């Protein structure tokens, strides 16, 4: 009996230490410890990505396509601002108007500059997992959840199927944007609760990071869920408007300014942007079936069309298990009146996530703006944004149980109940075991995609060697095989007829000078070079990257291209027009022998070419990027000024009014 009392006493002390609210303010080491634990968990979860061998490929057939735009940053050391034009594939396009990949997210920039495009993408994946986990940890602090449930929630979100499941086909951009939008939830709620100017500045920066993280699906989900839910805090108990709306407006303005290097080029180029549409919204499920994706871990389910799915698993993989859902019921019954609005925020935001992922807002919008609405082909990806809300409510429920000591297990021996503290111990043990098993189930489910595979094929090296050219030319590699995009980028090849999720409306693709395809070719055919197993290599000399068109012939020129800088040397006895097969767009300038020359009306870079030997230079110097950078710097200066002026300022929305 003495042993039970002593153990209970020590456990009570341990319990009190663990349940300190907002302990990070008094004990910074505690916050650092929690961050360190989350990072360690992430490194363990993504340990296969720490192998930086070029032969270790992350899982997913679209991995190569997803990260190819990252390679623009490898040009920074070689030619500086030439990276503003992505000339790596399909005739080129403005690099900063990229929607599919988050090329302007700091994680992508830093990782690519340090580790290169391929291994940098592995770092981006690991950092994205960490970002999601730390965002959930932050949300736990805002909700004043104790350390144990808070860490459990962070671990669970990091390992959740809504992140790892996207690697079923390797869409790194969706993982990054899901993590970036999840990170913005905590500062949004904190600003709504307290209305402090510095919270508005922080939220503005985090929101800008979410905007530039790519894809667009999760950003739409965030705008349709978190922002409407935050309106709950715009009024007090008497339904009078509170000044916190001004802080949200300020945060939105800062976010737009900071994200201007992406927003301005994209707005400028947006009308030229084309992608596949789905007027029938075939990929979305009815609202009533969507919650099942959070609890079903049977992979066979995701490969069939049950419950109105399409057999593309990564769209629906969001498994987190029953534990956070069941624990999330507890706050509904035990929340204090002062915190009801916080709970309502989580519930409303979750509901709006489910509604958005069912496609209902986009079906309604299609009546007025069909071009945009039909382009939102996969609203189901928005489901992943619901995971932080579900887990937050589950962690909140676990915190209530552990803090208030609900006896989940009541024991009696000969009508004599055990000591209350012993019941607390049993409650803790039971709940910790349940948390562990829930985390284990999610980990085992998600690790099905968080791995790499060893890819070593001598045929690839042979083909890459065969398609090298002495000057710049467009080449075509086996169609529909996304990995070739990485091989081309690593070897400085310009790739045409390459599958991308978007295209330039009304523009044709440049014809290849060299073509490698998995098809049978007659060895006697003109231009045939060699056969590598089942891949034939053919030269098509009439498709020169740069050539002069005269009245009766095409005269090839020597060209050297790096991003938005092109140098062409032409020698011709006849005059004509120089055609460089790079898409013409606002921002290109042309110089012949040091003198500016105008462009001719053409899809390509085309200028007049007099007879003789001449040197032509083309630069891409758009107006939108410098203006966007200037606006971003303005946003940074404005944020710094407001931050300094906010020192010591009182909250505009005291927490006690709730």
Tell me, what's the pLDDT at 458?
Answer: 86
Tell me, what's the pLDDT at 25?
Answer: 47
pTM (2 d.p.): 0.90
The lowest-confidence range among 331-335, 559-563, 620-624 is 331-335
Q: At 6, phi and psi to the nearest 5?
A: -65, -45
Reported as a single tens digit per residue, the pLDDT across 414-428 is 444 555 666 667 777
Residue 565 in this model has a pLDDT that exceeds 70: yes
Strand runs labelled E in 455-499: 474-476, 494-495
What sign does the CA torsion over 512, 517, 523, 524 have? Answer: negative
Neighbours of 650 (CB within 10 A): 9
Which has the closest alpha carbon to 315: 286, 353, 283, 355?
283
C-alpha distances (whole Å) from 370 to each of 360, 376, 400, 486, 504 are 13, 10, 47, 35, 19
Q: At 542, phi and psi to the nearest 5?
A: -70, -15
Reported as a single tens digit per residue, the pLDDT across 138-178 is 999 999 999 999 999 999 999 999 999 999 999 999 999 99
pLDDT class of 619 with cuts at 50, 70, 90: very high
Reported as a single tens digit per residue, the pLDDT across 487-502 is 999 998 999 988 888 8
- Where is 159: in which H helix or E strand? none
Reported as a single tens digit per residue, the pLDDT across 250-303 is 999 999 999 999 999 999 998 888 888 888 888 999 999 999 999 999 889 999
Reported as a single tens digit per residue, the pLDDT across 224-262 is 999 999 999 988 777 778 889 999 999 999 999 999 999
Q: What is the mean pLDDT of the chain?
A: 88
Higher-scoring residue by pLDDT: 403, 606: 606
Tell me, what's the pLDDT at 4?
Answer: 43
Quote the CA–CA distance of 103 and 127 in Å, as a whole number: 15
Tell me, what's the pLDDT at 408?
Answer: 44
Tell me, what's the pLDDT at 26?
Answer: 53
Reported as a single tens digit per residue, the pLDDT across 71-94 is 999 999 888 899 999 999 999 999
Cβ-based burial of 506 (10 A; exposed 0-12, middle 13-18, buried ≥19) = exposed
Residue 135 in this model has a pLDDT that exceeds 80: yes
Residue 521 in this model has a pLDDT that exceeds 80: no
Long-range contacts of 276-281 (CB under 8 A, 24+ apart): 276/377, 276/501, 277/371, 277/374, 277/375, 277/377, 278/374, 278/377, 279/366, 279/370, 279/374, 281/359, 281/362, 281/363, 281/379
Tell me, what's the pLDDT at 3?
Answer: 40
| Most confident by average pLDDT, 414-428, 476-490, 565-579 | 565-579
Residue 634 in this model has a pLDDT that exceeds 70: yes
Task: Report the relative pairing of strands 604-609 and 576-583 from DSSP bridges.
Answer: antiparallel
Residue 6 in this model has a pLDDT that exceeds 60: no
Reported as a single tens digit per residue, the pLDDT across 580-604 is 999 999 999 999 999 999 999 899 9
What sign does the CA torsion over 359, 364, 366, 368 have? Answer: negative
Tell me, what's the pLDDT at 405?
Answer: 58
According to DSSP, residue 241 is labeled B
């Amino acid at each position: 009996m003495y042993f039970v009392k002593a153990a209970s006493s020590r456990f009570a002390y341990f319990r009190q230490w663990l349940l300190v609210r907002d302990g990070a303010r008094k004990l910074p080491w505690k916050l650092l410890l929690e961050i360190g634990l989350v990072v360690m968990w992430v490194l363990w979860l993504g340990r296969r990505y720490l192998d930086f061998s070029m032969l270790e490929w992350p899982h997913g057939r679209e991995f190569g396509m997803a990260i190819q735009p990252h390679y623009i940053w490898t040009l920074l050391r070689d030619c500086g601002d030439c990276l503003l034009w992505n000339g790596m594939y399909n005739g080129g396009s403005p690099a900063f108007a990229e929607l599919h990949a988050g090329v302007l997210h700091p994680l992508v920039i830093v990782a690519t500059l340090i580790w290169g495009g391929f291994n940098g993408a592995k770092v981006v994946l690991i950092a994205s997992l960490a970002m999601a986990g730390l965002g959930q940890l932050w949300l736990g602090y805002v909700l004043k959840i104790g350390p144990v449930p808070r860490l459990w929630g962070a671990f669970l979100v990091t390992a959740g199927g809504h992140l790892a499941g996207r690697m079923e086909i390797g869409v790194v951009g969706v993982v990054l944007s899901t993590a970036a939008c999840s990170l913005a939830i905590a500062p949004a709620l904190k600003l709504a609760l307290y209305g402090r100017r510095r919270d508005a500045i922080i939220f503005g920066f985090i929101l800008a990071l979410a905007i530039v993280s790519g894809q667009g699906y999760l950003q739409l989900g965030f705008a349709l869920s978190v922002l409407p839910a935050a309106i709950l805090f715009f009024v007090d108990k008497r339904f009078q408007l509170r000044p916190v709306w001004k802080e949200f407006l300020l945060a939105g303005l800062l976010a737009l300014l900071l994200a201007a290097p992406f927003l301005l080029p994209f707005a400028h180029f947006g009308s030229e942007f084309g992608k596949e549409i789905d007027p029938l919204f075939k990929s979305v499920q009815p609202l009533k079936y969507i919650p099942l994706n959070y609890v079903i871990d049977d992979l066979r389910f995701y490969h069939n069309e049950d419950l109105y799915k399409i057999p593309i698993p990564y769209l629906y993989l969001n498994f987190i298990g029953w534990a956070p859902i069941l624990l999330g019921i507890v706050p509904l019954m035990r929340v204090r009146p002062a915190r009801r609005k916080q709970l309502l925020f989580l519930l409303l935001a979750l509901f709006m996530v489910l509604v958005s992922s069912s496609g209902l807002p986009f079906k309604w919008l299609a009546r007025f703006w069909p071009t945009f609405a039909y382009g939102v082909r996969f609203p189901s990806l928005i489901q992943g944004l619901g995971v932080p809300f579900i887990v937050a409510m589950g962690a909140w429920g676990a915190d209530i149980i552990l803090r208030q000591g609900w006896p989940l297990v009541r024991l009696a021996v000969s009508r004599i109940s055990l000591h209350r503290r012993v019941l607390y111990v049993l409650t803790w043990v039971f709940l910790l075991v349940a948390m562990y098993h829930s985390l284990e189930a999610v980990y085992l489910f998600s690790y099905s995609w968080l791995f790499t595979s060893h890819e070593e094929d001598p045929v690839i090296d042979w083909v890459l060697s065969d398609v090298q050219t002495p000057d710049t030319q467009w080449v075509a590699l086996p169609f529909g095989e996304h990995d070739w995009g990485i091989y081309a980028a690593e070897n400085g090849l310009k790739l045409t007829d390459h599958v991308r999720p978007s295209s330039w409306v009304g523009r044709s693709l440049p014809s290849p000078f060299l073509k490698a395809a998995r098809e049978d070719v007659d060895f006697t055919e003109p231009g045939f070079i060699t056969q590598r197993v089942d891949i034939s290599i053919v030269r098509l000399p009439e498709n020169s990257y740069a050539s002069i068109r005269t009245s009766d012939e095409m005269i090839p020129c020597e060209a050297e291209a790096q991003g938005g800088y092109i140098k062409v040397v032409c020698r011709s006895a006849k005059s004509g027009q120089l055609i460089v097969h790079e898409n013409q767009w606002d921002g290109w300038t042309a110089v012949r022998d040091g003198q500016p020359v105008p462009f001719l009306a053409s899809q390509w870079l085309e200028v007049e070419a007099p007879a003789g030997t001449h040197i032509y230079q083309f630069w891409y110097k758009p107006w939108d990027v410098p203006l966007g950078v200037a606006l971003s710097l303005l946003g940074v200066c404005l944020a710094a000024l407001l931050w300094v002026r906010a020192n010591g300022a009182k909250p505009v929305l005291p927490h006690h009014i709730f």
